[in-house]
Amino acid sequence: MQNDKRPENMKRINTPELAEEFIREQVEAIRAEVKDKKVLLALSGGVDSSVVAALLIKAIGKQLVCVHVNHGLMRKGESEQVIEVFGKNLDANLIYVDATDRFLSLLEGVSDPERKRKIIGGEFIKVFAEEAAKLQGISFLAQGTIYPDILESDGVKAHHNVGGLPKEMNFELVEPIKLLYKDEVRVVGEALGLPHDMVYRQPFPGPGLGVRCLGAITRDRLNALREADAILREEFDNSGLAGKVWQYFIAVPDMKSTGVKDGKRYEGWPAIIRAVNTTDAMTATIEEIPYPLLHLITKRITAEVNGINRVLLDLTPKPVGTIEWE
């Protein structure tokens, strides 16, 4: 399709009208390139892959095959939202793979963050490649590459969503949003009719909750993390903070402390709140959270989430602390 250089005269897509114009142009370009062939897309549920999926569905319908791999490390409700939005509402050709047991088995006892990342990334490629190998007539691989990805890799395509596929899977690439910045992708997503919370979904690491369930991952602690994180997100939404904070999440370390519940002592994990603002992710400042809101979040998490008996607040900016704990 286009080359990897954004034209100097290309308008910033910041209105619904400009987004509609972009969509019309891309639909025409996709149809001209793909013709009657099939396209494969790894659909994570993130902003970029979701917008690419909606754009391709508009252009070529069932010729697009979406594969959503649930590695068991998604936030609460995310895989369900992918199925609802794409499988039901948009009637996409969607393949859903629940690989939770497969991933968690491989991660059992692994505490080193880099090893966890490599296991999750490597296994994702294996699962995706296995699903791709079952399909017939796939000629193209669609990806959610955006312009900052290209800039960060100096114009060399080292930033693909699904790198490392077997060489025999020689797909041509379709990257319809590769000349857009993230804010433009969101405007296009809204124009395509995707849900607001999907279009404005927070940055989420590829390993998902795997790098927020600190140390060796266990199912019980992972479940506690998922539930506590959902409460934090719900209360940020209710208070109006969601639109003011770039990223906020819970991390749960592999350690316990003594607490009291129903008049008895018991051991539980701490839930650590991390809420930061940034413009480039190279530096980050701490968002001020009102104490009444912190008290409400603490009350809910300790009352509703089995296994968590403390809530802590991380006040460390970047530098010196990274945004993620692992």
Cβ atoms within 10 Å, residue 302:
17
What's the confidence (pLDDT) of residue 242? 93
46 with 196: CB under 8 angstroms? no
What's the confidence (pLDDT) of residue 160? 45
145 with 51: CB under 8 angstroms? no
Cα(244)–Cα(264) distance, rounded to whole angstroms? Answer: 40
What's the confidence (pLDDT) of residue 210? 97
What's the confidence (pLDDT) of residue 149? 83
Cβ atoms within 10 Å, residue 233:
19
163-193 as b/e: b if 16+ CB within 10 A: eebeeeeebeebbbbbbbbeebbbbbbbbbe
pLDDT tens by residue, 31-45: 999 999 999 999 999
Q: Which CATH class is domain 212-313?
A: alpha beta
pLDDT tens by residue, 134-188: 999 999 999 999 998 888 765 443 444 555 666 767 799 999 999 999 999 999 9
Closest CA to 192 of 6, 21, 10, 20: 20
- At residue 200, does pLDDT exceed 80? yes
What's the confidence (pLDDT) of residue 159? 41
pLDDT tens by residue, 42-101: 999 999 999 999 999 999 999 999 999 999 999 999 999 999 999 999 999 999 999 999
- At residue 215, does pLDDT exceed 70? yes
Sorted by where each begins, the domain ranges of the chain are: 16-199, 212-313
Q: Which CATH class is domain 16-199?
A: alpha beta
Cα(231)–Cα(304) distance, rounded to whole angstroms? Answer: 9
Cα(234)–Cα(297) distance, rounded to whole angstroms? Answer: 9
What's the confidence (pLDDT) of residue 161? 53
What's the confidence (pLDDT) of residue 162? 58
Nearest 5°: the CA angle 169, 171, 175 is 140
| Least confident span in 5-9, 131-135, 211-215 | 5-9
- Is the preceding peptide bond at 290 cis, omega within 30 degrees of 0? no
pLDDT tens by residue, 120-131: 999 999 999 999
pLDDT tens by residue, 247-274: 999 999 999 999 998 899 999 999 999 9
What's the confidence (pLDDT) of residue 279? 83
Sheet holding 172-174, edge to edge: 93-98, 64-70, 38-42, 138-142, 172-174
Residue 260, strand partner residues: 265
What's the confidence (pLDDT) of residue 154? 52
Parallel, antiparallel, or unpaired: how do β-strands 257-261 and 264-277 relate? Answer: antiparallel
What's the confidence (pLDDT) of residue 170? 79
Question: Could you check whether 16-199 and 212-313 share the same CATH topology?
Answer: no
Cα(58)–Cα(63) distance, rounded to whole angstroms? Answer: 11
Cα(141)–Cα(40) distance, rounded to whole angstroms? Answer: 5
